[in-house]
């Protein structure tokens, strides 16, 4: 009889601990669906002309989050890539972004004008 009482007491105690442990974690454990939502990439809207102008005035670079390259305010792709965000050059470099190697905005037009002028002489 003593063994039965001991077994019953131990089983009840174990069940009570399991229930209280589960109840204590219920509020702190993230739901599986919520975790999946945070790991998925969220599409962001392209910056507006006002946001681009504001970022230029603050001296920010445009960091392309896909290529891990950053574009300066005088670059052709500043604020125009599909995935990116504005940040300081220092923050971009700390995050592992590298400077994009691109011609500056308007340089293609200058080259075209120079070439056209040279061929008409």
Interatomic CA distance for residues 13 and 6, integer angstroms: 10
Q: Is residue 120 part of a domain?
A: no
| pLDDT per residue as tens digits for the range 55-103 | 999 999 999 999 999 999 998 899 998 899 999 999 999 999 999 997 6
Q: Is the pLDDT of residue 5 over 60?
A: no
Q: Is the pLDDT of residue 9 over 70?
A: no
pLDDT of 46: 84
Who contacts 64 (Cβ-Cβ below 8 Å, separation ≥6)? Answer: 70, 71, 77, 81, 83, 84, 97, 100
Rg of the chain taking only CA atoms, in angstroms: 30
Q: Is residue 36 part of a domain?
A: no
pLDDT of 39: 40
Q: Is the pLDDT of residue 50 over 90?
A: yes
Whether residue 70 sits in one domain with residue 21: no
Interatomic CA distance for residues 25 and 53, integer angstroms: 48
Place of tokens 């670079």: 61
SS3 category, 98: strand
Q: 68 is in which domain, residue-wise?
A: 49-107
Q: Could you give the number of structural domains in the chain?
A: 2
Average pLDDT, the chain: 71
Whether residue 53 sits in one domain with residue 20: no
Percent of the chain surpassing pLDDT 90: 40
Q: Which of 30-34, 37-41, 74-78 has the lowest mean pLDDT?
A: 37-41
SS3 category, 91: helix
pLDDT of 99: 95
Percent of the chain surpassing pLDDT 70: 48
């Amino acid at each position: 009889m003593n063994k039965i009482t001991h077994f019953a007491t131990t089983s009840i105690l174990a069940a009570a601990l399991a229930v209280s442990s589960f109840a204590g974690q219920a509020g702190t454990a993230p739901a599986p669906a919520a975790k999946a939502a945070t790991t998925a990439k969220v599409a962001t809207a392209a910056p507006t002309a006002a946001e681009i102008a504001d970022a230029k005035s603050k001296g920010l670079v445009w960091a392309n989050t896909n290529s891990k390259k950053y574009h300066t305010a005088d670059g052709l792709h500043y604020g125009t890539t599909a995935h990116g965000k504005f940040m300081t050059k220092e923050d971009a470099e700390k995050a592992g972004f590298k400077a994009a190697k691109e011609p500056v905005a308007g340089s293609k037009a200058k080259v075209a004008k120079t070439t056209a002028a040279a061929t008409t002489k």
